């Protein structure tokens, strides 16, 4: 597809500086720009690439003031990063969609299949399932009995949705993820063995949830494990049974959430964050990478880091002391020797 700077500026409600008729047919990082490419500049660290890029069009913030001449045509917008994301979304939506049901797919007679769907090779759709209009189920997807997919869901290859689970409108689940596997429920017995506790609940994904690759979301023991509207989960995340994740919360890769923990809305978790079970995390909480949370976070919009996690400024001050511990240890040893010497005298 090919667009002029004028058509792009019109879509983004931007202002053009340069040739309004110049055309682009691809996208590229600003440092890897080429003729016919569209790039963007949002982070000041990349500004120096602007003056040497070969991209034909570059999106910049309206407030941006170039330090020297720029050969590319500029389109000024309120937020260059958001504008670029909007364009990527437009290009993605313009791609042709697969439709139809492959001959190797197995769909039980009691399942209800919407219109304009794609069901790929070797997909299984169980008894009494509902697949909404516009859904795409790629090869080797498994949908267990009584599960329900809202409209326009995308399940990528190898996704497994266990029985009785519910996915809202516009959910995306990436390859290899498992929705509704049994929670880790075992009761210790007197003979040191463990009895499995049946996991009779389900998983509910509300609208526009996106799940990365190889994520596991366990079904509830009773009731539901709930992922609220707009949540985004990175790859390799574990969500245990009866957890609730609030609206528009985002989690980076390898995060693990223990059972029955309740997470507020608009939270942000870095990579490898770990939460203990049966705790509550306030709205807007930000947790740095590898943060370990052992108890409730009660104050909203708190930023914490470390394991056990503490407030960021306190963590940074503590880090300075930690780096000085060897030196402090040497001084203490020296002082102890002086004290012992004085005692002998």
Q: Measured between alpha carbons, how far is residue 298 from residues 261, 301, 306 in Å?
A: 13, 10, 17
Query: DSSP of 106-150, one letter per residue?
Result: EE-TT-EE-SS-EE-TT-EE-TT-EE-TT-EE-TT-EE-TT-EE-
Q: Is residue 48 annotated as a catalytic residue, yes or no?
A: no
Measuring CA to CA, how many Å separate 166 from each of 129, 132, 253, 336? 10, 11, 24, 66
Residues in the chain, overall count: 345
DSSP annotation of 37: E
Contact partners, residue 324, CB within 8 Å, separation at least 6: none
In 3-state terms, what secondary structure has residue 85? Answer: helix
Beta pairing partners, 239: 217, 257
How many CB atoms within 10 Å of residue 34? 12
| Catalytic position from the list 48, 140, 163, 241 | 241
- In this structure, are residues 306 and 319 in contact, taking their beta carbons and an 8 Å threshold? no
Q: What is the dihedral of CA 335, 338, 344, 345, to 10 degrees?
A: -140
Structure tokens given for 327: 């030196």
CA distances from 186 to 113, 193, 195, 198, 199 (A): 37, 9, 5, 9, 10
Q: Tell the residue number behind the tokens 């500026």, with chain if given.
A: 9
> What stretches of 66-219 adopt beta strand conformation (E)?
73-77, 100-101, 106-107, 112-113, 118-119, 124-125, 130-131, 136-137, 142-143, 148-149, 154-155, 160-161, 166-167, 172-173, 178-181, 186-188, 194-196, 202-205, 210-211, 216-218
What is the distance in angstroms between the CA of the first residue and the CA of the last residue of the chain? 90
Positions marked catalytic:
241
């Amino acid at each position: 597809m090919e667009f002029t700077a004028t058509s792009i500026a019109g879509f983004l409600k931007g202002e053009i500086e340069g040739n309004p008729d110049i055309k682009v047919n691809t996208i590229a990082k600003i440092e890897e720009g080429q003729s016919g490419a569209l790039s963007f500049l949002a982070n000041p660290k990349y500004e120096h690439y602007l003056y040497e890029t070969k991209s034909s069009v570059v999106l910049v913030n309206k407030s941006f003031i170039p330090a020297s001449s720029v050969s590319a045509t500029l389109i000024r917008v309120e937020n260059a990063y958001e504008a670029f994301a909007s364009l990527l979304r437009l290009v993605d939506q313009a791609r042709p969609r697969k439709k139809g049901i492959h001959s190797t797919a197995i769909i039980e007679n009691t399942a209800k299949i919407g219109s304009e769907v794609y069901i790929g090779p070797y997909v299984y759709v169980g008894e009494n399932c509902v697949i909404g209009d516009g859904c795409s189920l790629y090869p080797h997807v498994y949908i267990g009995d009584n599960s329900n997919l809202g409209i326009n869901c995308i399940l990528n290859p190898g996704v497994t949705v266990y029985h009785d689970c519910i996915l809202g409108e516009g959910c995306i689940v990436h390859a290899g993820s498992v929705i509704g596997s049994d929670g880790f429920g075992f009761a210790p017995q007197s003979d040191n063995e463990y009895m499995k506790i049946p996991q009779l609940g389900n998983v509910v994904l509300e609208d526009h949830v996106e799940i990365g690759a190889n994520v596991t979301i366990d079904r509830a023991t009773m009731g539901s494990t709930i992922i609220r509207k707009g949540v985004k989960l990175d790859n390799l995340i574990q969500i245990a049974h009866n957890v609730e994740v609030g609206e528009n919360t985002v989690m980076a890769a390898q995060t693990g959430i223990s059972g029955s923990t309740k997470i507020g809305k608009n939270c942000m978790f870095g990579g490898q964050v770990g939460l203990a079970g049966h705790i509550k995390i306030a709205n807007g909480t930000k947790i740095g990478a590898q943060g370990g949370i052992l108890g409730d976070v009660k104050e909203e919009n708190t930023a914490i880091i470390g394991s056990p996690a503490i407030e960021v400024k306190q963590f940074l001050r503590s880090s300075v002391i930690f780096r000085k511990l060897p030196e402090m240890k040497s001084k203490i040893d020296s002082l102890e020797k002086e004290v012992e010497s004085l005692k002998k005298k």
